[in-house]
Structure 1
Amino acid sequence: MEPRWLTYGKRLQAIASTGLHFARDQFDRERYDEIASIANEMLAKLGNVPVERIEGLLSDFAGGYATPKVDVRGAIVEGDKVLLVREKSDDRWALPGGFAEVGLSAAQNIEKELYEEAGLKVSVRRLYGVRHKASSSYSPDVRDFYKIFFLCDRVAGGEVQPRLGTSEALFFEKNKLPTLSRARTIERDVEAAFEYATDANRPAFFD
C-alpha cells in the first residue's frame, strides 16, 4: 500500500483538476488553484523533487473529470519461463506493456505493446487480473493507475527482439527472475502469470 499522505495528496490534486475543469465562478477557480498548489507541494515534498516535476507529470490537468490512468501488461508464459523486457529508462526488467492509447481496445493495446517492446505478434488469450497500483507494493507514484494484465501467445514463427524503449527481451524461469522495474512490475504479477497460464478456469483477480 502507498503511504497515506501520498494518497491524500493525489486525491486533493484530482479534486482540484476536476474542479478547475467545471468551475465557472472566478472565486471557485481561485480556491481550486490553491488546492492544486497545496497538493503539488505535498507531493513534491514526499518525493523530494521540485514542484515543477510534479506539475510536468499532469499533462491532462484540468482537462476533464480526473480519472486513473490505464497501464496494460502482457505475459507470455512458455513452459516454465515468462517473457520480460529490460527497460531503457532504468535498466530493469518488466512484463511488456505501457500506457493504453486512445482509439484501441485493451487487447489491441497489449498486442501493440508486445510488438513494440519485444518484436512479437501475439494473440490475446485472456484477461487475468486488474490491480490498483497504489494498493500494491509497486514503487510510489504521484499518478493513479489501474494495471490490466493479459495472458498472450506468440503467433507461430515470431522471434523475440527488443525494439522501442527496451534493450533486451528474454525468457526467465519463475525462480530466477532478474531485478524488476518495480514501478511497472512486481514479483506477484509474474507469479500470477504462471498460475493463470496453467489454470484456464481460474477467475481473474481484481482489487
Structure 2
Amino acid sequence: MNDVVRWARALQALSQTGLEYAAGPYDRERYEAVQRIAVEMAAWAGGEEPAELLASFAEESGYRTPKVDVRGVVLGAEGLLLVREPDSDGWCLPGGWADVGETPSRAVEKEVGEEAGISARAVRLLGIFDRDFRGRLRWPAHVYKLYLQCEPLGGTPTPDGVETEAAGYFPLDTLPSLSAKTPPEQLSRALAVAADPAVAAAFD
C-alpha cells in the first residue's frame, strides 16, 4: 500500500509539473492522462472518490514541491505539551501547515497558542523529517515536518474546541498514545536533540 501511495504521489507531481510547462495540446493530453492514472491509484489506496481527488489535484498548479508542517516541542516543568484532535486515536504535538508569508518560528508560535492556549517562543530547530504516512488512508501530499523547540511563556493548556479537544503537559517517561501526526520515532529524535544543546538538528 505504501508503494502505491508513493507511486501515485510521484505521478501526480510529474503531471502537475508537466501541465505547467506543457508546450502544446498533445503534451497536455499526455500529462492529463498521467494525472488520471495518479487519481485512480490514489483512490484505490485511500478509498476516496476519484472525482473528488481529480478536483483536488486540479487545484494545484506550478512546479510541485513538498508542503511544510510545523510542530512545537514545548517542554515545561510538567513535561511535554501535547494536544488531542477530535476523532483522533491519540495525542500529537501542537502544530499544522505553515501559511505563506510566515516564518517557521512565527507559524509554530501561532499554532501552539491557537491549539493549546500556551504563549510560546520558538528557540531552536530540532529536526526536519519526511512525514510518515503509515496507516494514513486519506490522500497524502508530500510533506516536510519541522520540529521546533518552544519555550513556554505563559498560559494554561486549553484546547480551542475546534481543532483540538484536549491539551496538557505529560511527563516524558509516561507519554500517552500518539497519533500518526507525531510518529514516536520522530519525536524521540527531536527530544534527543532538545536534551543536549551541543547536538545538531536531526534530519532525514
Distance (Å, rounded) in 2 between the aligned partners of 1:33 and 1:142:
20
Aligned to 2:76: 78
Aligned to 1:145: 143
Where does the alignment leave 5 or more consecutive residues of structure 1 unmatched? none
Amino acid at match of 2:53: I
Aligned to 1:122: 120
Equivalent residues of 1:196, 1:202 under 8 A apart = yes
RMSD: 2.1
Amino acid at match of 2:96: G
Aligned to 1:34: 33
Distance (Å, rounded) in 1 between the aligned partners of 2:100 and 2:165:
26
Aligned to 2:105: 107
Question: Which SS does the other structure have where 2:121 is aligned?
Answer: strand
Shift of 1:121: 1.4
Number of matched residues?
A: 202
Question: Which SS does the other structure have where 2:178 is aligned?
Answer: coil
Equivalent residues of 1:174, 1:191 under 8 A apart = no
Aligned to 2:198: 201
Shift of 1:60: 4.1
After superposition, the Cα gap between the structure-2 partners of 1:114 and 1:57, relative to the gap in structure 1 and judged at 3 Å, is farther
CA offset digits 1:39-59 (Å, max 9, x no partner): 110111111222134335447
Where does the alignment leave 5 or more consecutive residues of structure 2 unmatched? none
Amino acid at match of 1:162: P
After superposition, the Cα gap between the structure-2 partners of 1:117 and 1:57, relative to the gap in structure 1 and judged at 3 Å, is farther
Distance (Å, rounded) in 2 between the aligned partners of 1:75 and 1:57:
31
Q: TM-score, normalization: structure 1?
A: 0.88
Amino acid at match of 2:203: F
Distance (Å, rounded) in 1 between the aligned partners of 2:39 and 2:168:
39
Map residues 62-77 of structure 1 onto 2, 5 A cutoff. 63-77=61-75
CA offset digits 1:51-97 (Å, max 9, x no partner): 13433544742x21011111000111124621000112525311000
Equivalent residues of 1:138, 1:186 under 8 A apart = no
Which sits farther off after the overlay, 8-17 or 73-82?
73-82
Question: Which SS does the other structure have where 1:175 is aligned?
Answer: helix
Shift of 1:154: 1.1
After superposition, the Cα gap between the structure-2 partners of 1:70 and 1:19, relative to the gap in structure 1 and judged at 3 Å, is same
- The answer to whether the aligner puts 1:25 opposite 2:35 as a matched pair is no
- Identical counterparts, % of pairs: 36
Equivalent residues of 2:81, 2:170 under 8 A apart = yes
Equivalent residues of 2:76, 2:152 under 8 A apart = no
